[in-house]
Amino acid sequence: MHQVHIIGGGLAGSEAAWQLARRGVRVRLSEMRGAGDTTPAHQGDGLAELVCSNSFRSDDDEKNAVGLLHHEMRRLDSLVMRAGELARVPAGSAMAVDRDVFSAAVERELAALPTVEIVRERVDTLPATGPTIVATGPLTAASLAQDIGAATGQDSLAFFDAIAPIVHRDSIDMSVAWMAARWDKGGKDYINCPLDKAQYEAFVDGLLEGEKVAFRDWESDTPYFDGCMPIEVMAERGRETLRFGPMKPVGLDNPHTATPEHPAGRWAHAVVQLRQDNKLGTLWNMVGFQTKLKHAEQVRLFRTIPGLENAEFARLGGLHRNTFLNSPLVLDRQLRLRGAEHIRFAGQITGCEGYVESAAIGLVTGLMTAAELRGEAWQAPPRTTALGALLSHITGDAEAETYQPMNINFGLFPPLPDVPKKARKEAYTERAKTDLGAWLSARAAVPA
């Protein structure tokens, strides 16, 4: 008999299950994929499948907020960080993974725990009793989403999330493209495809004129999340927008243009970057190229990019609607549903954005639930830490009226106005690591 029911086997649900089971709690982990159901974005039925990018973003824990979050999760024995190291592929200073190896590692680790029962089943309603964690993510099944909406007493918010295409490595023309990281930082981990001004202008025209996926009536008022903006929507904001975003050429010397005066080569007018997507290095995703163009338009337009004239696509871009709760309004400081405190929410459905953030909230939710089962008062991580800052944003620091999905960033941390701006990021991380250490030391007296 389980003690905690976790609904959803994505990043957050898997992380919560791991944290609970490692503390001796019996968990039933329900995942609808594999039971005849799926979502518009998933390809398989593996736990913790990555459906968009394969990157957990920067792993720099000295002056980058998401890198700091990586560090804190590792300190708390995160399953996602553990599996991520096993599945890691080259990506400069970023942490990117082979998505199949990653998912298999998560499922293998959980299946090996005697207190975890993985059940392939769809859950259509919120359980009336018993400790429950809902971690169904932004693609929650319609029946359960309706029940959650009824329980919260209001409509959930929603936004669109677009998926970037993946290209077969051997179809890229490396006589045109070249390997490099921006400013040569982190090794030659990206494939770069250069565009001159005429090619860039033609590409923007193609984006603006290309046939897009039609909206359904119920999707027409759904906003995009800025962190996953489709490239054609960026292009609509101005013809130069892409050159200051995913197609930024700055810091990328093209060796194919080397001259005696410029032996390293010149910068292109614009650059498309591709990042390794699997350990074999056979698949590469187009960085920042989320799109809602129709598939035929994608193939036609992306093959106008120098180096991708003969590109073969393992996956084309797509579009799906994400849903999330207005958490500051409907959840308490322990992520419990107001009026039904036996239910906690975790992951992207709470309104955090990003793989790492989703897993981090799953981790914290597992710790909260374990403490509750032991009859202990929950002490949240300090707001000066990445975990504490993200949790505080979700559970009350944000304005309910304007609540939107949020990646971890230093703007969520208590400010350090007396520290010079250039030294502020390092100061944030130093303070966070010190305060997390103190928090962990206090928790060490608590039996696991």
The three state secondary structure string of 348-372 is: HHHCECCHHHHHHHHHHHHHHHHHH
| Residue 369: CB atoms within 10 Å | 28
Q: Could you tell me if 267 and 275 are in contact, meaning their C-beta atoms sit under 8 angstroms apart?
A: no
To which H or E segment does residue 283 belong?
strand 283-286
The verdict on whether residue 442 carries a ligand-binding annotation is: no
Distance between CA 71 and CA 428 in Å, rounded? 13
Q: Is 113 annotated as a binding residue?
A: no
The Cα–Cα gap between 310 and 168 comes to: 10
Q: Where are the alpha helices (DSSP H) in 351-443?
A: 355-373, 386-392, 424-443
Instruction: Output the six-digit token pair for 314.
Output: 């393992």
- Which residues contact residue 18 at a Cβ distance below 8 angstroms, ignoring those fewer than 6 apart? 78, 79, 109, 110, 113, 366
Q: 244 Cβ partners below 8 Å, 6+ apart?
A: none
12 is in an annotated binding site: yes
> Does 377 appear as a known binding residue?
no
The reply to whether 13 sits in an annotated binding site is yes
339 is in an annotated binding site: no
Binding region for FAD: 8-13
Annotated binding site: 8-13
